[in-house]
Chain A
Amino acid sequence: MIHQSSLLLPALPFIPLLAALYVAFSESGETSRRAAFLAGTLPTLVVTAYLMVQTRTPHEGRPVVLTAWNEVVYADLLSLMMVSLTLLLVTLVGLYSFSYIPHELGQVPARGRSLRTYYSLLLVVAAFMIMTVTINHLFFMFLVIEVATICVSLLVATFKTKFALIASFKYNLLVVMAMLFAVLGAILLFGETSAEGLSLSRLSVLEMGELALLVPAPLLLIAAACFVGAFGTKGGMMPFHTWLPDAHSEAPAPISALLSGLIITVGPFGFARTAALFVPKYSSIMISVAALACASVVIGIVVALAQDDLKRLLAYSSISQIGYIFLGIALADYLGIYGGLFHLVTHLLAKSLLFLCAGAIIYRVGLRRISDLSGLARRMPLTAVCFFVGSLSMGGLPFMAGFMSKYTIILALAQAELWWALVITALAGTLTLAALVWAAHRVFWGPESEKVAAIPVGGREIPRLMALPMVLLAVAIVAVGLVPGLLYPMLDGAARSILALMAA
């Protein structure tokens, strides 16, 4: 790999951070707050696109990675892919929130301050997500993950309802506890290498492969268990998932979209970044992770089938889908990693869309129990179409984005001859389709339920600012489903980045 110094790279998180400061402390009106929010995300997205072009262009036939600050900041295509997804989703969630959050907050005391806090926290989350994926140091990576966790937990508690506060507390407690285990794993590695007088005190992500050769097997296995537990918890994979259904269902809908689409992907990302510790010397760890991921895929969707709360159903479905991503990466070959990353993107598009649709339903009719909802398609045709697009994609229907990513993972499983995993994932795919299409059918089709009929007809379905992100996500799902090659350059480079670290 060619290491190229970049001044723009370390500046990336500071743009949203500056905007967050402005939003938090400025007493200006709603319009300037919104403008500041967009100024914090859109220019950063443009800079990221430029950096992606730089890394995508091979230098003398070798892939390029960008570095800064003595390689403490590091970005390959995987990092930049995550940065662009972060900024894209935060922008869409922000646009949606412009109408949704003021409406749901109502006329509470200190409403202006609540809104300022909300938007600034959203920008801070974006900044720390960017740092998470561009930092080349294990301890600092855990630091920024924890800071992002604190901000997200405050966002989960935006409405300060009883269950939102409990969910926020639980999320904070479990994820930070998990990160404590990750720190402990890193201490074990560091203690061992420093005792041998080796110069790996930086615990750089780039040197993980080298570290694996130096640390004794028992110690490495304990550290591996700590990392898998920590990233599994952050990702919401079974059996570390207990925070996820509560936080996803009790957070405001746009934050649920952010949690499910983006925040939980830090788990598989961190796992991919540290996988060089286990591969190729301890490949059995990857098989164990694949088995856990398969359990997550099946149990998540089986529990989802039993849910009556629409947001909780989507939350359990996320536990299942994160299993696919972990499974793909755990295969540790090109096709598997490509499929895992592909599913990370398609899941982000579809699950964010589904949560935004759930938010639209709450906005319009104030209900979220599936048994209370029926016949909404006539009142909310746009939301119905978007929800079906998201459901069909998540279910893996052909010509939808989710189909291609799941199909790639299944092909990778066949190539790796993991037939048991292939059968499980194929079966779980069918169950996902059943769970989501069943939910969509119950909510949008048939005659209107009593509770829905009691709500006066009239007015616009949802405000334009809420509809725009939903439509964009739905269009993206269909576009990727019809032309999956659209994402190939980005995913190919990202998959090769992980393989390069494993081979280092």
Chain B
Amino acid sequence: MSFSGSLLVLLLSLAALGFAMLAVETVPLLRSTYWYVAHSGCLVAVYLVYAFDTGNRFLFAWAGLAVVNAVILPFLYGGLKYTAVRIPPEARSSHLGAALLGVVALAAFIAAATFSRPQLQVSGSPLTQLGSAVSLNLLAAALLFVYGIIILLTRRHLFKLALGLLIMTAGAHLTLVQMAPDIFTMVEIEVLTKVIGTVFAMLYAVRLLAERYQTTDAGILGGPGGEGGET
């Protein structure tokens, strides 16, 4: 991959991370959905840059997958938007989540500053520059993955947990694209299962809970095992 292409991918990956953070931290859920669409749009751009730059046709399939993430899923029946408009706006930003978000953002900034300095130097071997850029892209993907885990660990709003899983999946996809771009089967796997099946099933449960109990805050809903009786 070319050096400029690699840098573009890096910028887009970091933008995807930024939009993911906005999607999670935004309290009104409908607006949060639109930030998520922007996050997925960045991922589509990343895959397209990869595809055009390397000429690997499998990467167009990856871009297609990201389009599913960006467009179809949020507006599917039972998808993000459909669920978001039915959830009461009691979601509040978690302090722990905000603190960890700060840590991730700081780590991203330090890492970007540390790794990009040698790449921005005009002199030096292009091969070395390319190697560093690819490593940096992997780092961006890893940050996205880690941020997804942080959401899953710190949030109690079920809608945000579903978003967390999607963001974590996006991080895994970015890693996969860089390490094994030729595994086309993975695209099918991700489309069929995590992106459509799992998140759809999760949002179905979230929507039913929201309609019946007017909340999707796991803390308010309480945990199973307390009431006894099956039905």
Which residues of A are interface residues toward B (Cβ below 8 A)?
104, 106, 139-140, 142-143, 146-147, 149-150, 153-154, 157, 159-169, 172-173, 176-177, 180, 183-184, 187-188, 190-191, 194, 201, 245-246, 249-250, 252-253, 308-309, 312, 362, 366-369, 372
The answer to whether A159 touches B230, judged by C-beta atoms less than 8 angstroms apart, is yes
**A250 with B198: in contact, given A159-B231, A177-B152, A183-B172 (CB under 8 Å)?**
no
The answer to whether B201 touches A172, judged by C-beta atoms less than 8 angstroms apart, is yes
Give Cα distance in the complex from A190 to B161, angstroms.
29
Max chain A Cβ within 10 angstroms of own Cβ: one of B162, B168, B180, B206: B180
Tell me the total A-B contact number using a CB cutoff of 8 A.
132
Give Cα distance in the complex from A369 to B226, angstroms.
10
Max chain A Cβ within 10 angstroms of own Cβ: one of B172, B197, B228: B228
The answer to whether A165 touches B189, judged by C-beta atoms less than 8 angstroms apart, is no
The answer to whether B230 touches A147, judged by C-beta atoms less than 8 angstroms apart, is no
Interface size of B in residues (CB-CB distance below 8 Å): 45
A-B contact pairs, 15 of them (CB 8 A): A142-B189, A150-B193, A162-B209, A166-B224, A169-B161, A172-B202, A173-B165, A177-B149, A180-B168, A183-B172, A183-B186, A184-B145, A190-B183, A245-B225, A253-B230
10 more contacts with CB within 8 A, not counting A140-B189, A147-B192, are A150-B193, A153-B205, A162-B213, A163-B223, A166-B221, A168-B201, A176-B165, A177-B168, A183-B176, A369-B228
CB contacts (< 8 Å) of B206 on chain A: these are: 169
The answer to whether A147 touches B225, judged by C-beta atoms less than 8 angstroms apart, is no
Nearest Cβ on chain A to B59's Cβ, whole angstroms: 15
**A169 with B225: in contact, given A140-B185, A162-B212, A191-B179 (CB under 8 Å)?**
no
The answer to whether B208 touches A160, judged by C-beta atoms less than 8 angstroms apart, is yes
CB contacts (< 8 Å) of A169 on chain B: these are: 158, 161, 202, 205-206, 209
Give Cα distance in the complex from A191 to B178, angstroms.
9
Closest to B149 in A: A177
Give Cα distance in the complex from A249 to B230, angstroms.
8
Nearest Cβ on chain B to A162's Cβ, whole angstroms: 6
CB contacts (< 8 Å) of B92 on chain A: these are: none
Nearest Cβ on chain B to A363's Cβ, whole angstroms: 9
Give Cα distance in the complex from A447 to B187, angstroms.
61
Give Cα distance in the complex from A13 to B225, angstroms.
35
Question: Closest 7 A-B residue pairs measured CB to CB?
Answer: A191-B179, A163-B224, A146-B193, A246-B224, A143-B189, A369-B228, A169-B205
Nearest Cβ on chain B to A491's Cβ, whole angstroms: 32
CB contacts (< 8 Å) of A149 on chain B: these are: 198
Nearest Cβ on chain B to A321's Cβ, whole angstroms: 19
Nearest Cβ on chain A to B57's Cβ, whole angstroms: 17
Closest to A106 in B: B231
Tell me the residues in window 148-188 of chain B with beta carbons closer than 8 Å to chain A beta carbons: 149, 152, 158, 161-162, 165, 168-169, 172, 175-176, 179-180, 182-183, 185-186, 188
Nearest Cβ on chain B to A248's Cβ, whole angstroms: 10
CB contacts (< 8 Å) of B230 on chain A: these are: 104, 159, 161, 252-253, 362, 368
CB contacts (< 8 Å) of A143 on chain B: these are: 188-189, 192-193
The answer to whether B212 touches A173, judged by C-beta atoms less than 8 angstroms apart, is no
The 8 A CB mask of B18-47 against A (1 = contact, 0 = none) is: 000000000000000000000000000000
CB contacts (< 8 Å) of B228 on chain A: these are: 308-309, 367-369, 372
CB contacts (< 8 Å) of A106 on chain B: these are: 231
Nearest Cβ on chain A to B150's Cβ, whole angstroms: 12
Pick the contact of A201 from B176, B182, B213, B227 — CB < 8 Å? B182
**A190 with B218: in contact, given A160-B208, A176-B165, A176-B198 (CB under 8 Å)?**
no
**A190 with B158: in contact, given A167-B224, A184-B175 (CB under 8 Å)?**
no
Give Cα distance in the complex from A241 to B197, angstroms.
23
